[in-house]
């Protein structure tokens, strides 16, 4: 084993990617392990205004075991080939080599990040697990601005999805905490990881 994992979970739009970028560590984007939009096993929303579209907020919409395999490779060998996923294209568009360059930590961030906490902890690969949280209203507007800027989906779909996510945010944070993540603001999480990197 050459490295351990800092897991950054949290609701969509809570600032996980921004926090991960500020940590100055290699980052594995767990959202790159989404299933392709054409995958017949992709879960669908069955009721409400978004009925019929892919349920990208359901854990079955991503490949948990593939993500864990990549994390194990990174911890054991210091490098791994990982996918690149384009949400606007509903699928993978390539691969890239993620190299830790001898580092002792790698960040794993994404909306399903809490799903990898237990196996990483059981295998001795977990360094820290946090759940980034902000007020639901702040998260809603930050997420909407990002999704519109990146043209992820049609605007009406983004607004409807954003409202549904805002209503569910409290339960998302509670589920992450139950899975072993410590809820923190982005500033608190940044301090916690910096403390982890500072020798005692």
Compute the CA torsion angle 8, 11, 14, 15 (nearest 10 deg).
Answer: 30
Query: What is this structure's pTM?
Result: 0.80
Structure token pair of residue 66: 């593939």
Residue 179: closest CA among 131, 124, 125, 127: 131
Sign of CA dihedral 20, 96, 115, 127: negative
Band of residue 27 on the pLDDT scale cut at 50, 70, 90: very high
pLDDT tops 90 at residue 151: no
E strands, the chain, are 4-9, 27-29, 79-86, 91-99, 105-109, 126-132, 182-184
User: Which whole number is the average pLDDT over 28-46?
Assistant: 90
Tell me if 87 sits within 8 A of 4, measured CB to CB. no
Partnered with residue 8 across adjacent β-strands are: 109, 130
CB 185 within 8 A of CB 10: no
Structure confidence by residue, pLDDT tens digits, 81-105: 999 998 777 788 899 999 999 999 9
Query: 98 or 155, which is more confident?
Result: 98
Q: Which residues are within 8 A (CB) of 131 and not within 5 positions of it... i.e. 6 or more apart?
A: 9, 10, 114, 173, 176, 177, 181, 182, 183, 184
Categorize the per-residue pLDDT at 162 as very low, low, confident or very high, splitting at 50, 70 and 90: low
The structural domains of the chain, ordered by start, are 4-195 (3.40.50.300)
Average pLDDT across the chain, whole number: 86
């Amino acid at each position: 084993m050459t490295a351990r994992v800092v897991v950054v979970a949290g609701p969509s739009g809570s600032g996980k990617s921004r926090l991960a970028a500020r940590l100055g560590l290699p980052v594995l984007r767990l959202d790159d392990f989404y299933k392709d939009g054409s995958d017949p096993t992709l879960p669908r929303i069955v009721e409400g205004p978004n009925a019929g579209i892919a349920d990208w907020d359901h854990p079955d919409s991503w490949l948990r075991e593939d993500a864990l395999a990549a994390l194990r490779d990174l911890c054991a060998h210091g490098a791994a080939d990982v996918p690149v996923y384009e949400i606007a294209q509903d699928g993978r568009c390539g691969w890239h080599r993620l190299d830790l360059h001898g580092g002792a930590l790698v960040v794993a961030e994404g909306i399903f990040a809490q799903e990898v906490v237990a196996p990483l902890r059981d295998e001795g690969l977990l360094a820290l697990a946090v759940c980034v949280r902000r007020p639901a209203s702040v998260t809603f507007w930050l997420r909407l601005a990002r999704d519109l800027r990146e043209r992820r989906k049609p605007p009406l779909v983004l607004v409807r999805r954003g409202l549904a996510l805002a209503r569910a945010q409290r339960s998302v944070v509670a589920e992450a905490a139950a899975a072993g993540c410590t809820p923190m603001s982005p500033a608190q999480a940044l301090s916690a990881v910096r403390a982890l990197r500072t020798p005692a």
